[in-house]
Every structure is written in structure tokens, then in C-alpha cells.
Amino acid sequence: MVLQTLDRSVSASLVTGRYFTHQTGLPSLPVPPLQQTCEHYLSLLEPIVEMEELKRTKELVEEFQKAGGVGERLQRSLEMKARNTDNWSTGYALHFDYDSNRVPLVVHSNVGAVFPQMDFKDKDGQTRFVFNDRSCMFYSETLPVEYIGGKPMCMKQYSQMLSSCRIPGLEKDSLVFHGKSSNPPKHIIVVHNSQFFVLDVYNSDGTPLTVDQLYIQLERICNSSPEINAEPVGILTTLDRDSWSKAYISLIKDKINKDSLSTIERSICTVCLDGPMPQASDEMYNTYAGLQIMHGGGSQWNSANRWFDKTLQKPEKILSPVVPLPKPQKLHFNITPDIKKYIKEAKQSMDTIAQNLDLRVMVFSHYGKKVLKDHKISPDAFIQMAIQLAYYRCCPSYEAASLRTFRDGRVAAIYSTTSASAAFVKAFDDPKKKLFIWKTNVIFSIYQAISGQEVEGHLIGLSMQAAEEEISMPDVFTDISFHKFLDYRLSTSQVTSKSGCLPCAGPALLESYDMCYSLTNVDITFVVTAYHTCKENNAAQLIQVLENALLDMRALLAQSPRTN
């Protein structure tokens, strides 16, 4: 079974309580001071643009932020919006306009991972079927509140995680949420051999199914679908959004198809019972597991055993008496020649996507965060510099940081490519240079991002405000330096989990890498993705260079006295 989610996990403590009671007490996302953002913007440009370009950009920034200028006007507009809304950045879709993006969801938008275990128990101490019990908590708003650094976090995203679905549209997709409806769903969709089944996960008395009941029901589904469906409708969700929206319109012309699609869309989540993947060596097992999670291996394997517009979930153990259950119902589709054409197209495009994804996994077992903490070093700052060292040419990279301490907060960008990091990389082999030149710089960037002082988000917000007010776009936003500033070639995310999850994400751009990593006290797991069609990138090579960089930095660390 596999799980796909749209959000990455956050290191946090859980406190029981109705999570929306804390929501109104969360601060709104602040608008950073204009001068502060402009100063930080110029400092971040120093290692990535030419001297003449930087000189020109400084002139444009000075013009933009001068007293009475367009910058001050846009800043005032943003500040007014911040006073009148929960989160001024929400309407701008600052980082990605997910609903309007027309590329396929598979690899490009869906992030794959094993869901971090959350141990919710009833009053009698019995652990209930996790996604059912969690869905009850979502609907009743009794999910334990998450805290980070002693601060409560925004929990709104959880109310939209289950019983939701993305519906394809001709120009823009839409999101529907059924969990808060007058009749919230009580079923999940189970997919086996590319066939879809409705499985009610609540007993008649409202209690969730037991693990034994689930076993019986899943066995019934497997026995009812021994052969792979020759016309797998699920593969259509791997199409680019324009093609899928056209196929969707064709599908719902038939009432049986429309009813089946509605049942899928209204379900709590989708559980995929996959067939086996090709045999892999022990060395490549994690890599094959990552590919399985990301796309299912292609049309000949498990890519059609999905509904990528839904979240996917994995069941957990519970204990309760077994009672007679109705047989899970199979969903039916009438496949017209037009739909067959779309299915054929989807198979071909899915295989191209699967073949193009370059994914490598490394479990770095030489040391973990304990060694770094013993030296009083931020593990994340240390790893970011190792990544910079591995990616020696210092192309712009950023790390995602959580903004969930603010109302409706999502993510912000931490810039690890700075003048200090560039100096560190270039001078690494000189023992006279300071090893920890990056330390305060990167930590400050992290604090700046999570405290709502992000540079990128503020600048994009100002540019979007100019478009909203229909004024001429300021030159600072059409400048070549601004485009280079946003041209990430390496995106990184630290994923904290106690359940041994394997995070996976596809690169946002053809020319870029994506890197997820997870730390324990004794090791660090890295997952790197790239695209084979970009001949300059090679995930296996970057992984190897990164391992060498971590070993070299550990050796240098051993020569340095520990900080008290």
C-alpha cells in the first residue's frame, strides 16, 4: 500500500484539544518592512549575478523604495490587505498556482511518503483504525493541536486533507471538500488491479471497522479482481490537466461513469493495493520503493492502480469484535472509443514520465544529528552547507520552511546560497579559513523565513499587487536579476518523522534537482530526483558527491574544538 500527500511533515508536539479554538489566536502573517526586504534581496543576489547586473539592480531597488515611490504605494496596499485578511499571501498563490498548473500531477505535484504514525486512542485505550478515527477528529475538530517551539500551529490544512478531491477543469482545476457537508462520506475507495471498489469503513453503530473486518473486506476485493483491468480508468489521472479535463467531460456524459466518479471524489481517501514491482538488489531497494511511491512504475506495473486527484492512505491496526459485513461494491465504467483513445494516450505519457524520472536514495550512516549537536552545530545548517559544497557551482538553492505558526500559513523559502556560503565552498580546502563561516548566516535565514520575514514571498506579493492595481510593472520585477533570483536549480526540504518515512518529490523544473532529507541521531537519509532529459543533471552523481562532502566536512569538524 502507498500513500501520497500534498504536504510534508513538520516536527511538532501534539496537544489534545479542539484545534480551531486555537486558530483565531494565531497571529496574521506580517508584511516585512520594505527596506529590510530590499537590503536582504541585494545581499542574496551577490553570489548569483554578475557585478554589472548587481550594480544595475541596486539602482532599480533604490528607485523602487524611494520615499513616495511605487514601492511605498504597493507596501501600503499589502499592509492594508494584511489588516483585513487572515493571510495576505493566500490570494497570490505565491510559490505555485497549483490549480492553474496544467502539467500532470504525477511526479510534478504529488509528494510521496509514508504517513507519519499518529497514535490516537479511545478512552478504553484501544488504538482505532487510524484514518477513520482521524477523519472523525477532522470533522469534529478534535485533532490534537500541533506545537512547534512552544507555539500553536495552523491546523486548517487538516480540515481539507481527507474527503477532498481535485476536479479537472478546462482552464483551471477546482478543489471540493465533502468532510464538512451535512452527509460526510463514510467510505474509502480501494484500488486493486486497476479496478475500483467502494468500502464502507464504519459499522452501522458509527464505530470504525476493526483490523479483522478490514482484512476480510480487502481479501474480498482481491478475490473479486484477480486480473488487471484492460481499460484502466485510473491511468487517466496521470494525463496533463488539459487532456484529463477533456477526458473527464467525455466520461461524465454517461450516467454510470458520472456516478462512479462522484463516488471516488466523495470518498475519505483512496487505498491502493499494488501488485509487485520488479526485483531489486538490496542496494537499489530504497530507490525502487521511491519510484513505486512516486508513480507506480509505469502503465505495465501500478501507475493505473491510482487516482492521483485523491489523497491516498494506509490502514493501521485496531482491535474490536468482528460482525457480518456487506460485500464491497465494484465501480463500473462504460468505456467509449473516445475514452479508449485517452487511455492509450495516458499510458504512453505515463511511461514517458516514469522513464524520465531519475531518483536515487542514500542512507548516510557515518553519523547523524547527535554528532553535530555534540559540537553545538545546527544539523540543518550543517547539511545545507554540505549540499552547497556538493553543488559546488553555487546555483541558487532554497529550503522550504513552515509558516504554520501564522494563520493559514503554508511554506516559505530559506536561501542557503549566500555570500558567506559561496565563500565557504570556494575556500573549503584552505585549512586557514573558518569552518563555521556559514553558521549564523544560515540560521538567521531560517529564523527570517519562519518568522514571516521571507524575501521572495514579499517581493512576489508586491509584484502581484502591482498587477492587481493595474499599474505598470516596476522595473525591479522585470530585471534579469529578479528572474535569476527565482531560478532555483536545487530545492531541498528536511522531513522529520519518527516512522521511518521515505519522502519523495519531483523537481519543479526540467533543469532542477529536488532533494528531501531526514535525520536521526545516527544517520541521514537523502532522496534526490532529477530528469534524465536534462543531460547536465545526474541524481546518482549528486548523491555520491554529497556523501563525499559530508565525509570531508566531518573530517574538518573533527579538527575543530567543540563549541561550549
CA distances 290 to 116, 223, 363, Å, are 16, 28, 13
Q: Does residue 41 fall inside a structural domain?
A: no
The residue from 294, 328, 356 where one domain ends is 356
Regarding predicted confidence, which is higher, 548 or 96? 548
Residue in 122, 427, 106, 154 with CA at minimum distance from that of residue 298: 106
pLDDT of residue 474: 96
List Cβ neighbours of 196 (8 Å cut-off, separation of 6 or more). 189, 190, 233, 234, 260, 264, 307, 330, 331
Q: How confident is the model at residue 229 (pLDDT cuts 50, 70, 90)?
A: confident
pLDDT of residue 69: 93
Question: Apex CA 66: angle with CA 65 and CA 72, to 5°?
Answer: 55
The residue from 356, 387, 410 where one domain ends is 356
Weakest-pLDDT range from 85-99, 179-193, 352-366 = 85-99
Q: How far is the C-alpha of 268 from the C-alpha of 285, rounded, in Å?
A: 31
List Cβ neighbours of 539 (8 Å cut-off, separation of 6 or more). 358, 359, 360, 513, 528, 529, 530
pLDDT at 139 over 60: no
DSSP code per residue over 279-348: P--TTTHHHHHHHHHHHTTSTTTTTTS--TTS-B-------------PPPEEP-----HHHHHHHHHHHH
Residue with cell 544560515: 442
Same domain, 307 and 338: yes
Q: Residue range 363-370: average pLDDT?
A: 92
Residue in 4, 312, 10, 269 with CA at minimum distance from that of residue 132: 269
> What percent of the chain clears pLDDT 90, i.e. is strictly above it?
33
Same domain, 292 and 417: no
Q: How far is the C-alpha of 169 from the C-alpha of 309, rounded, in Å?
A: 12
List Cβ neighbours of 234 (8 Å cut-off, separation of 6 or more). 191, 194, 196, 304, 305, 306, 307
Same domain, 335 and 455: no
Average of per-residue pLDDT values in the chain:
76
Weakest-pLDDT range from 123-127, 382-386, 514-518 = 123-127
Same domain, 414 and 534: yes
Q: Which residue range is the domain that position 511 belongs to?
A: 25-31+358-558
CA distances 194 to 236, 273, 482, 490, Å, are 11, 9, 46, 35
For the chain, what percentages of helix, strand and coil (3-state, to nearest 5) are there?
A: 40, 15, 45
Q: Residue range 92-109: average pLDDT?
A: 66
The domain that contains 504 carries what CATH number?
3.30.559.10
Q: Does residue 420 fall inside a structural domain?
A: yes
Q: Does residue 163 fall inside a structural domain?
A: yes
Same domain, 219 and 368: no
pLDDT of residue 437: 42
Regarding predicted confidence, which is higher, 239 or 160? 239
pLDDT tens-place string over residues 457-472 = 899 999 999 999 999 9
Q: Does residue 141 fall inside a structural domain?
A: yes
Question: Apex CA 112: angle with CA 290 and CA 410, to 5°?
Answer: 145
Q: Does residue 9 fall inside a structural domain?
A: no
Q: How far is the C-alpha of 486 from the C-alpha of 511, rounded, in Å?
A: 13
pLDDT of residue 430: 56
Secondary element (H or E) of residue 472: none
Q: How confident is the model at residue 239 (pLDDT cuts 50, 70, 90)?
A: very high
pLDDT tens-place string over residues 295-314 = 887 777 887 788 777 767 54
Same domain, 340 and 375: no
Coil, helix or strand at residue 170: coil
- Pair 506, 294: CB distance under 8 Å: yes
pLDDT at 76 over 90: yes
Weakest-pLDDT range from 64-68, 339-343, 386-390 = 386-390
Q: Does residue 14 fall inside a structural domain?
A: no
C-alpha cell at position 155: 491546523
Domain count, the chain: 2
pLDDT tens-place string over residues 396-455 = 444 343 444 434 444 444 444 555 555 666 656 555 544 444 443 443 344 444 444 678
pLDDT at 146 over 80: no
Same domain, 351 and 378: no
Regarding predicted confidence, which is higher, 30 or 24? 30
Same domain, 340 and 366: no
- Pair 348, 228: CB distance under 8 Å: no
pLDDT tens-place string over residues 249-286 = 999 999 999 999 999 999 988 888 888 777 777 777 77
> What percent of the chain clears pLDDT 70, i.e. is strictly above it?
72
C-alpha cell at position 94: 505565491
Same domain, 352 and 487: no
Q: How far is the C-alpha of 105 from the C-alpha of 123, rounded, in Å?
A: 40
The domain that contains 177 carries what CATH number?
3.30.559.70
pLDDT tens-place string over residues 216-225 = 999 999 999 9
Q: Does residue 89 fall inside a structural domain?
A: no
Strand arrangement of the beta sheet that strand 524-531 belongs to: 357-364, 524-531, 513-519, 490-494, 397-402, 411-415
Secondary element (H or E) of residue 162: none
Same domain, 362 and 351: no
Output phi, psi for 45, to 5 deg. Answer: -75, -25
- Pair 439, 377: CB distance under 8 Å: yes
Same domain, 399 and 500: yes
pLDDT at 17 over 70: no
107: left (phi over 0), alpha (psi -120 to 50) or beta: left
Length of the chain: 564
Same domain, 318 and 366: no
Determine how many CB atoms are found less than 10 A away from the CB of residue 276: 9
List Cβ neighbours of 178 (8 Å cut-off, separation of 6 or more). 163, 164, 165, 184, 185, 265, 266
Query: What pTM was computed for the model?
Result: 0.76
- Pair 247, 342: CB distance under 8 Å: yes
